[in-house]
Amino acid sequence: MHFGGREKAFRGKGMSQLERLMAENNVNMIWCGHISSDVGKEVLSLAEAKLAGEDIESILRRRVFSILVELLDNVAKYSPGKDAESRFGMPVAMVTLTDKTYSLTTGNLILNSQVDHLKEKIDIINKYDKEGLKAFFIKSLSGQTINTDSTGNMGLIDMARKSGSRLVYQFEKVNDLYSYYIVTVKVSEKRL
């Protein structure tokens, strides 16, 4: 395991404490590290294996997996790169399960210059109900061209549609250049 330029081996006690902490907080899966398309595939493979072992309906499992794909794409889209992440904040993906409701959370570094635009997108999406999201999705899809960034809305809209819940987010300023962006999507058997 690599920590700030020093190699440190995990000890059994540390691993058992981590396992206990995860169990106490209903954390099914956690990933911390740079997320590229290849790493994203590994995270999704791990999540798929974990979800397959759960006693949940396949429809819910597919929704959770599909939303996790979108969340990881969102992390990759806003990533300022490995160097910045290593210095100021690594991406995190986490899945928790409480009372048959999954909470999918990602956190990642983002340029401060992108924060207001992303907040605006999410706030607009969060205004819509189920029917409004469907109409907004179709409008965004039909307005999409090769030269526009309308596809940037598609993943966020799709997460809200598939989950049936609002996108809960926050931005924590790290320094003059970066903030840390956290988004959580709740997915339950019954859409809210």
Q: Kindly report the pTM of this predicted structure.
A: 0.79
**Within 13 A of 25's CA, how many CA atoms are on the CB side?**
12
Give the distance, in angstroms, between the CA of residue 124 and the centroid of all CA atoms in the same chain: 19
Burial class of residue 70 (count of CB atoms within 10 Å of its CB; 0-12, 13-18, 19+): buried
Domains present along the chain, CATH in parentheses: 2-188 (3.30.565.10)
Query: What pLDDT shows up at residue 118?
Result: 94
Rg of the chain over Cα atoms, rounded to whole angstroms, equals 17
In b/e form, how buried is each residue of 71-102, taking b as 16+ CB within 10 angstroms?
bbbbbbebbbeeebbeeebbbbbbbbbeeebb
Q: Kindly give, in sequence order, each residue whose CB lies less than 8 Å from that of residue 42, ignoring residues fewer than 6 positions away.
A: none
pLDDT in tens, 134-173: 898 888 877 665 555 545 578 899 999 999 899 999 999 9
pLDDT in tens, 64-123: 888 888 888 888 888 898 999 999 999 998 888 888 888 999 999 999 999 999 999 999
Q: Kindly give, in sequence order, each residue whose CB lies less than 8 Å from that of residue 57, ignoring residues fewer than 6 positions away.
A: 189
- Look at residue 67 and give its three-state secondary structure: helix
pLDDT in tens, 15-72: 788 788 878 888 877 878 777 656 556 666 666 666 666 666 777 778 888 888 888 8
